[in-house]
Structure 1
Amino acid sequence: MAESGAGPHEGRHELRPVSKHRSNVVFAILAAVLLGVLGIAIATQVRSTVAGDSLDSARPADLLVVLDNLNRREAALRQEVSDLEDSLATLQRSGSTVAALAEAQARLMALSIQVGTAPAIGPGVTMTLTDPAGGVGSEVMLDLIQELRAAGAEAIQIAGSTGEPIRIGVNSWVTGRGGALELDSVKISAPYTVSAIGDPPTLAAALNIPGGVFDNVSRNGGSFSLEQSQQVTISALRQLNPRQYAQPGN
């Protein structure tokens, strides 16, 4: 089941992709600085070579001063190049970390929608089931949920005539006779409103197959209506129970 998630509003939750443009600009600037520093070093060496003739007549003490200055300048340039290379490597590692974090957040969002802890919005179907004769029992509702899941529904919620909608999760269950259904320990009564996010034509076709869910509803004295839409909102949330036995594996 797919959901929109982390910090949901009853609308679309989108993770903004990591800005590669910004990282590329930073890398380009650092590369340009590195080239500039190396250029300065080369130019300094060239100027020193060209000026060599004029130094032939200089005193030994003056030559020692010039040599010392050149050595200091060379050491400073090497250190600057080293520092810039370290900064570039850090930024590159940071870029990989940001990408990994974005991927992890996207995966968390998908899993949150699947287990029902985040709201979702997207194309899907909304249907209403009536049960005036009290013949639509838990087996029909269970078939409805299973058919939607098999048809690729990524998020489902069911509401009775009163009360809040109930989000269907991996451990949802339904019991009771027609007119007295209980869904995840909550009693619900007809008419039932079922919303599901997925490919609308596929979901509708799955429920309308001969001998399928809607045929069972009709045979048990109920009726149904179904609407396909490009925007179905699933707002109900589930609470995660702390795990009791399972532990992460290697």
Structure 2
Amino acid sequence: MTATPPPPGPRHPRDLGGAVPDESDPPATSGTATPRSRGRAVPADVVIAALLALLGFALVVQFKASDSDAELTSARPEDLVRILSDLDAQQDRLRREINDLEETRRQLDSGAQSRDAALAEARKRADELGILAGTRPAEGPGLEIGFTPGTERIKSETILDAVQELRGAGAEAMQVNGANGAAVRIVASTYFVDGDDGRLVVDGSNLTAPYTIMVIGGPDTMRTALNIPGGVVDSVRQHGGTVSLREADPVHVTALHNAGELRYAKPA
């Protein structure tokens, strides 16, 4: 009787030529990261992205500041004087407006005088809007600016440059007069065109030279804006013309702008 060999059982690692595993060694892990390790990586990505965003924002701000500084550095001294004068004029106007608004608030909060103060403020605002729109006359300190042509005519672009300089210097109301007696109120929509026979066309009205701009505002600031080197006064003088600046108090701006009839809107 032949004996049956026993079934193969687990063989010892030594029998396979391998090393005996040490029970103290940690169990082997697969290449897939555990959820815990992925949880540590996400905050790091967020921090890196936030740092990159902040770095980009800082670079943009620095470039913009560098461009602004470069423009001011390359500007001419007379341009810097004009910019400073414009900023001073704007600051003064804002301070006056703040004081007026604070005084109005105090009056409105006073109780018994609130209604009268509200009506007075509404009338004041209506007058100011009427002056800005050119539908009401105005008077106040300012300049009378005369433009007399020389070898060449006074072009429309010269008058437009003068108007823009005056607005930047704080002009509040303006009109332009011609030697033929025509007068046109200057508002935001006013246009200037070179007409026939050396005339100036302003909002469709023909004006003959010499021209006079009546402007209400700070005389010193407006005079400085017009007299900067290479500005309006220099441009007219280079063509043989003259520009006269006369301070007056008050300057009367009486020409009115025809606002036209409203087609769709009506007071609510």
Greater CA radius of gyration, 1 or 2?
2
The one-letter amino acid of 1:233's match is H
Kindly state the Cα deviation for residue 248 of structure 1 after the two structures are TM-superposed. Answer: 8.7
Following superposition, the deviation at residue 181 of structure 1 comes to 1.3
Separation (CA, whole Å) in 2 of partners of 1:216 and 1:244: 42
1:237 counterpart = 2:224: no
The answer to whether the aligner puts 1:154 opposite 2:172 as a matched pair is yes
Name the structure 1 match of 2:239. Answer: 220
**Aligned ranges 1:197-208 → 2 under 5 Å:** 197-208=216-227
SS at match of 1:217: helix
Distance (whole Å) between structure 2 residues aligned to residue 97 and residue 160 of structure 1: 45
The equivalent of 1:187 in structure 2 is 206
- Counterparts in 2 of 1:60-209, with a 5 A limit? 92=112, 95-176=113-194, 179-209=198-228
Instruction: String of CA shifts for 1:117-147, please: whole Å, max 9, x gaps.
Output: 1111111011111114333211111101111
Distance 1:244 1:222 in 2: 44
Contact between 1:158 and 1:192, CA under 8 Å: does it hold in 2? yes
For the structure 1 residues 245 and 134, does the alpha-carbon distance in structure 2 shift closer, same or farther, using more than 3 Å as the test? Answer: farther
Per the alignment, in what secondary structure is the counterpart of residue 203 of structure 1?
helix
Q: What is the deviation of 1:97? A: 2.2
| 8 Å CA contact retained: 1:124, 1:231 | yes
**Within 5 A, what are the aligned runs for 1:41-52?**
none
**Residue type of the partner of 1:117?**
T
Secondary structure at the counterpart of residue 198 of structure 2: coil
**Distance 1:209-1:244 versus aligned 2 partners, 3 A rule:** farther
Letter in 1 for 2:185: R
Q: For residues 213 and 245 of structure 1, what CA distance do their matches in structure 2 show? A: 41
Task: Tell me which amino acid in the other structure corresponds to 2:119.
Answer: L
Deviation at 1:247, TM superposition (A): 8.1
Matches of 1:220 and 1:242, distance apart in 2: 42
Q: How many residues align?
A: 161
Q: Normalization by structure 2: what TM-score? A: 0.55
Is the 1:204–1:228 Cα contact (8 Å) retained in structure 2?
no
Q: Give distance in 1, aligned partners of 2:185 and 2:179.
A: 15
Deviates more, 1:193-202 or 1:235-244: 235-244
Identity of aligned residues (%): 42
Structure 2 gaps of 5+ residues are 1-103, 105-109
What SS class does the counterpart of residue 215 from structure 1 fall into?
Answer: helix
- Greater Cα shift, 133-142 or 188-197: 133-142
1:43 equivalent in structure 2: none
SS, match of residue 204 in structure 1: helix
